[in-house]
Structure 1
Amino acid sequence: MDKLALLFLACVLAGFALIKLPLAGTALASIAPVTFYIGILSVLVFSLILIFKGILALIDK
């Protein structure tokens, strides 16, 4: 399996972790919206990259 695909999958999972990160009641509560939007952006970008690489793999066969 392509090592880059595993890296992109790990980035998608990290994005989901940022979306679900509980920061309420901590000193970092003020950056909670920032982590939420960074998580959404990383999930979208890396999911699109994985879909694109999958389509290219199907076309090549």
Structure 2
Amino acid sequence: MNSWIFLFLACILSGFALIEVPLTDTFLASLSPFTTVVGILTVLIFSLILIYKGVRYLFTTK
């Protein structure tokens, strides 16, 4: 199995962590919209990469 897949899964999990990080009542509260957007983009991009690699693997002939 390709070890890059585990890296992509870790990136998806870190994206979910960025979406859910509680920044209220901290000095980083102004960055909350930024971390949410970056988290959503991370999850979307790496999920699409995993779907693409999975579909490509299904249609390769060996």
Number of paired residues? 61
The two structures have a TM-score, normalised by structure 1, of 0.96
1:25 partner letter: D
How far is 1:47 from its partner?
0.1
CA offsets 1:8-28 (integer angstroms, 9 cap, x no match): 110000000000000000110
Using the alignment, how far apart are the partners of 1:42 and 1:9 within structure 2?
11
Where does residue 8 of structure 2 map in the other structure? 8
Residue identity matched to 1:32: S
User: What corresponds to 1:44 in structure 2?
Assistant: 44
CA distance in 2, matches of 1:37, 1:57: 30
Runs of 4+ in 1 over 3 A off after TM superposition: none
- The TM-score, its normalising length taken from structure 2, stands at 0.94
Structure with the higher fraction of residues in helix conformation:
1
- Report % sequence identity: 56
Give the drift of 1:57.
0.7
Instruction: For 2:6, give the aligned amino acid.
Output: L
1:33 shift after superposition? 0.3
Runs (5+) with no aligned partner, structure 1? none
